[in-house]
């Protein structure tokens, strides 16, 4: 009886630990943050697929240390040294700390908009040209890895993130059409 109770306690504690350390999956990350990406797209014209695809790539679906500790989804560096606790020790970081993940998304949009205003990113790109956006962002100096654009494009394609880039009016028409058929 004592062995059964001990085994049951161990099993329950293992499930509790694994639930506490559960990581975001690509799908859970998309579900959590697609509305933020769409909102920023509507404000800035930067495709939601770009915002979400780059965030997923740079933060490992929100699982990286700076994403978890600093709400920084894009690896954007800041002026003031951010501090967070890791293994009971203070860690100083060159990365910006945000109050929320939405703030991180908004700051990314600000950075991209500034590059666009300076001409580093083409100002003629539309919200449906995600491939050109990624390549233009890489050419602007955002990422130094030669594989970066291909990696971000693979994420966008794998998860059909470009579907988020449809104009709001088109989405509303599609939704109304589906409702009318039901």
| Top-confidence residue, 21 or 124 | 124
Angular region, 119: left φ>0, alpha ψ -120 to 50, beta rest: left
Complete domains list, the chain, with CATH: 25-168 (1.10.530.10)
With a cut of 70, say whether residue 178 has pLDDT above it: no
Helix, strand, or coil (residue 78)? strand
**Residue 92 pLDDT level (bands cut at 50, 70, 90):** confident
Q: With 0-12 CB in 10 A as exposed, 13-18 as middle and 19+ as buried, what is 134? A: buried
With a cut of 60, say whether residue 2 has pLDDT above it: no
The stretch 151-164 carries a mean pLDDT of 97
Separation of CA 35 from chain center: 11
**Residue 179 pLDDT level (bands cut at 50, 70, 90):** low
| Top-confidence residue, 83 or 58 | 58
Query: Kind of pairing, strands 77-86 and 89-95?
Result: antiparallel
Q: In the prediction, which pLDDT does 6 show? A: 42
Q: With 0-12 CB in 10 A as exposed, 13-18 as middle and 19+ as buried, what is 136? A: buried
Q: In the prediction, which pLDDT does 85 show? A: 73
Contact 39, 73 (CB under 8 A): no
The stretch 60-71 carries a mean pLDDT of 94
H or E element that contains 94 = strand 89-95
The stretch 16-24 carries a mean pLDDT of 53
The stretch 42-54 carries a mean pLDDT of 96
Instruction: Return the percentage of the chain with pLDDT > 90, whole number.
Output: 55
Lowest mean pLDDT among 36-40, 52-56, 124-128: 124-128
Can you give the pTM of this predicted structure? 0.76
Distance CA 171, CA 104 (A): 26
């Amino acid at each position: 009886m004592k062995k059964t109770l001990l085994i049951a306690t161990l099993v329950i504690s293992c499930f509790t630990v694994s639930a506490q350390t559960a990581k975001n999956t690509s799908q859970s990350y998309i579900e959590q943050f697609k509305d933020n990406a769409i909102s920023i797209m509507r404000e800035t014209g930067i495709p939601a697929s770009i915002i979400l695809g780059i965030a997923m790539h740079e933060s490992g679906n929100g699982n990286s240390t700076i994403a978890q500790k600093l709400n920084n989804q894009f690896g954007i560096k800041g002026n003031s040294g951010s501090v967070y606790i890791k293994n009971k020790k203070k860690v100083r970081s060159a990365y910006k700390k945000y109050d929320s993940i939405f703030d991180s998304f908004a700051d990314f949009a600000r950075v991209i908009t500034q590059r666009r205003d300076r001409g580093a990113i083409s100002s003629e790109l539309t919200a449906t040209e995600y491939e050109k956006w990624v390549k233009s962002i890489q050419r602007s100096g955002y990422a130094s890895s030669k594989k970066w654009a291909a990696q971000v494009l693979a994420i966008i394609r794998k998860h059909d993130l470009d579907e988020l880039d449809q104009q709001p009016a088109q989405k509303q028409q599609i939704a109304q059409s589906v409702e009318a058929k039901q």
